Amino acid sequence: MTIPDDVRQWRKARRSEFLARRIGVTAPRRREWDAAITRLLVGGFPLLQQMTVGFYWPFKSEFDPRFAIHQWREHGARAALPLVVEKCAPLQFREWWPGAPMTTGVYDLPIPDGTAVVAPQALLIPPVGFDVQGYRLGYGGGYFDRTLAAMSPQPLKIGVAYELSRMSTIQPQPHDVPMDFIVTEAGVHHVGADGLTLVGGPARASELAGAIVRKRANEDRRS
């Protein structure tokens, strides 16, 4: 996973810029945006109620996905958190539930301690920035890129961010993987051949997500 030095430096500068922008949001405004995103996730992706969903513990003023996870779990979903098990290796996901045994991992974030290793069918992924083609700018470690490259079939990839994280391009490289959806406080955006398209409502989001999941399952059966 080699990135040209000029792109690497450009991304480093944008990462600092967008992190500062996000951290600068007031707590009341962030709670307002989080509530809007949670409603869009729960309303637009009911199929996650029957899936194993990988999520993340919020860090540096990221959108907090735990409220959506709790609602999906109430209807039967399994939830999982990522662990860094080895540098420059894909992430491992371990099952999480309220009260699960926990320890601390990278960045002192809580991670499940000894729970079952699972393969998520859907992932909530927090970009530092996202562009109009649906690519995400991460923290620079490349862990999600390596993880997605190793997963077959591909999970349903849902980027969750605030509108202030939108950018014209991340200067995508061959290893970068676009999301299937980007959800912000402004709405659910589907990532298609022409980039981000605002989805008309929860029924349409659910329809598109279901089609993606079925298509990948069929491709996996044929391979």
Other CB atoms within a 10 A radius of the CB of residue 135 amount to: 23
Note the pTM of the prediction, 2 decimals.
Answer: 0.95
Predicted confidence (pLDDT) per residue in 1-42, tens digit: 678 999 999 999 999 999 999 999 999 999 999 999 999 999
In tens, the pLDDT along 49-64 reads 999 999 999 999 999 9
Amino acid at 126: P
Q: Which domains does the chain have, with CATH numbers?
A: 5-222 (3.40.50.10420)
pLDDT mean across residues, the chain: 94
Would the pLDDT of 220 be above 70?
Answer: yes
- Taking only the tens place, the pLDDT of each residue in 79-127 is 999 999 888 789 999 999 999 999 998 889 999 999 999 999 999 999 9
Percent of the chain with pLDDT over 70: 99
For position 39, what pLDDT does the model report?
A: 98
Predicted confidence (pLDDT) at residue 222 exceeds the cutoff of 70:
yes
Angle at 29 between CA 23 and CA 33, to 5 degrees: 95
pLDDT for res 161 = 97
For residue 199, is pLDDT > 90?
yes
pLDDT at 1: 62
